[in-house]
Structure 1
Amino acid sequence: MQTENRILNDLGKLATGAAGVFQSIRDEVETMVRQRLERAIADLDVVTRDEFEAVKAVAAAARQDAERLTAENAALAERLAALEARLG
């Protein structure tokens, strides 16, 4: 009976130790994977969300300015055509 308890205790200790080792290995692998992913993402040369939103806002403003200038040019072309018609 004593021998069986001792064997079970030893097996329990062995299982507990193995679980600790496996947890350490898992943590190490997660750390390595995270570092490699971070390095790979850094090498991709991607922009941050803030930078993207800033460029998007600038592009939208430029598009609005272009539309406004197109309308102004059309109005000026009509005015010029009317003036030329009065002169000619």
Structure 2
Amino acid sequence: MKHNGLSFQNIITSEDVRSYKPRPEMFQRALMEHGLNPAEVLHVGDSLISDVSGAQQAGIKVAWINRNHKPLPSNCSPDYIVKSLEELLPILA
């Protein structure tokens, strides 16, 4: 985060909840700590297993960032597929 000049008020890691993606505990903890329900959240990630599967297990919609044009396996169904973060803007509007 320092390298990219990023700063966040809250960060929840897998180590904090002693559970690793794709298990839903990290996502559930984030929802609880921020008083949100899954319908209010969009998780964005580039891993079909860790990000898409994990967030969906917690009832959260997911935008899969597919920068390398990987084929989508038939057993996976992200809510959105984008090639870049810029493509998220219309989804969030």
TM-score with structure 2 length normalisation? 0.16
Answer 1 or 2: which has greater helix percent: 1
Q: Larger Cα Rg: Structure 1 or Structure 2?
A: 1
Answer 1 or 2: which has greater strand percent: 2
TM-score with structure 1 length normalisation? 0.17
